Amino acid sequence: HAPTIIKHEGLYKMIYGPCPFRLAVSENLYTWTPKGPVGISEKSGRDPGLFLWKDTFILAYCAGNAVKAATSKNLADWTEPVEIYRGEVASYQCESPTIVHRDGVFYLFWCLWDTANKNGNGYDERSFVVSSNSPLDFRGRPVIAELATHAPEIFQDEKQNWFISSVQYPT
């Protein structure tokens, strides 16, 4: 489900799942070398999003209607996961969490799987954004934006321009 890739120390590093999450590395994004499971003690997490803040990796992922995160200095040894956000509606499930840091503020993007939605299959074309001063605590924060996307990815190019991508809403 929804692998996450970052470039770090000259290598592309991908974490994929569902749990147990696994790590693979590549020099060129075409040929990958599996490195095995990462040491996160989660049984039902999926949709990992890897974020590097200063010298710490933060792996955010969905777990039911919550977003959890664990941290690591080396992608091998991880802290115990903590809940960093929870959806406010019981029928909501959080999907595809992504953390972005901009101008001193952290933003958590997540999309919605809503078992109470009108089409009955859970897929929803809405994503939400919350902000915080900490990449590990968005709990109780109000939604500051709603986007017409599913599974948004937010990224920068080589010139530091920001972009957002989205998967097609399933029909």
Task: Please compute, for residue 135, the number of CA atoms within 13 A of its CA located in the half-sphere on the CB side.
Answer: 22
Q: Taking Cα atoms as reference points, which of 110, 114, 108 lies closest to residue 141?
A: 108
Predicted local confidence at residue 100, as pLDDT? 95
Predicted local confidence at residue 171, as pLDDT? 46
Q: Do residues 63 and 17 lie in contact, with contact meaning Cβ atoms separated by under 8 Å?
A: no
pLDDT tens-digit readout, 12-22: 999 998 888 99
What percentage of the chain has pLDDT greater than the value 90?
Answer: 60
- pTM (2 decimals)? 0.90
Predicted local confidence at residue 119, as pLDDT? 63
